[in-house]
Amino acid sequence: MANETTIRFDIFRYHPQEDEPPRFQSYDVPYQEDWVVLDAINWIKDNVDGTLSYRWSCRMGVCGSCGMVINGEPKLTCAAFLRDYYPNAIRVEPLANFPVERDLVITMDDFMTKLESVNPYIVRDDVDDTSGGEYRQTPAQLAQYKQYSMCINCMLCYSACPVMGHEPEFIGPAALALGHRYNKDSRDQGTSERLEKMMEHEAVWGCTFVGECTEVCPKNVDPAGAIQQAKAAAAQHYFKRLIMPKGAGR
């Protein structure tokens, strides 16, 4: 590598079996203009240090598994080009606001529980009755929620949200945006039940509208906007329930 152009990587390392605090390890990686950070990490794993642990899969911004913090910014490593950082060093850390399993691998159990809590699926009373055919939807009805349905669960929004760091019980941007996505779906009949969960303090009202979840989202989902709209829906639901305890309806 003597005459080769290189770029330095400082990578967060943590080994659970070794009773030591996390540290940063430096690697010199060949600089390729068309490489992304994930390519460089794969090169390190294949050529220098096979013990480096991280998640990745599709390499094209669809699976959402390669999210890490690059120079302080939560990003998909498959979409972060080395040329945007060269010649400066690149610091890679696991997503913030999550426990770290090992190196760049975070624990997502809590996220999955929170995601499940908002019933992220279409709820119907007549789910067993298919005699009516498919549930049709106009383009205008689709437009109401389409943006919020693009989430790939990469959790970059959780890493960018300071409320997550301050109040770990906060349900968080992606789960709330997905809850809102189903509330806005004309085929869904589970809004009332979903809002009961979403109107809790650690749900929509935990959000202080910092807005960084939207800024870091690789799919332009706008979780911050979804949560503010969900706040309005939750407030309406609360008063409807107050006035009509049995008839708040869906």
Partner 1 sequence: MSKRYHPTQPWNWFLQRPAYVKFMVRELTAVVIGLYLIYLLCVLATVGGGEAAFIELAGKLTSTTVRLLHAIALAAALFHSITWFNLTPKAMPVYRGEDRLADPLVAFVMGYLPWIVVTILIVWGVCA
Region of 153 on the Ramachandran plot (φ > 0 left; ψ -120 to 50 alpha; else beta): left
Site string for partner 1, 202-221 (x = CB under 8 A): ------xxxxx-xx------
The residue among 79 and 100 lying less far from partner 1, judged by its C-beta, is 100
Question: Binders of partner 1 among 55-114, rule CB under 8 A?
Answer: 72, 96-97, 99-102, 107
Q: How far is the CB of 58 from partner 1 (least distance, A)?
A: 26
- Rounded Cα distance between 145 and 154, Å, is 19
Region binding partner 1 by CB under 8 A among candidate stretches 19-27, 50-58, 126-134, 186-194: 19-27
Count of residues that bind partner 1 according to CB under 8 A = 38
The residue among 7 and 227 lying less far from partner 1, judged by its C-beta, is 227
**C-alpha triplet 153, 228, 111: angle, nearest 5°:** 25
Instruction: Choose which of 221, 224, 233, 234 interacts with partner 1 (CB under 8 A).
Output: 224
- Give me the long-range contacts of 243-249 (CB less than 8 A, separation at least 24): 248/192, 249/192
Q: What is the dihedral of CA 36, 38, 41, 43, to 10 degrees?
A: -70
The residue among 20 and 134 lying less far from partner 1, judged by its C-beta, is 20
46 contact partners, CB below 8 Å, separation of at least 6: none
The residue among 124 and 166 lying less far from partner 1, judged by its C-beta, is 166
Question: Binders of partner 1 among 175-194, rule CB under 8 A?
Answer: none
- The site for partner 1 (CB under 8 A) is made up of 14, 16-17, 19, 21-22, 72, 96-97, 99-102, 107, 138-140, 142-144, 160, 162, 165-166, 208-212, 214-215, 222, 224-225, 228-229, 231-232
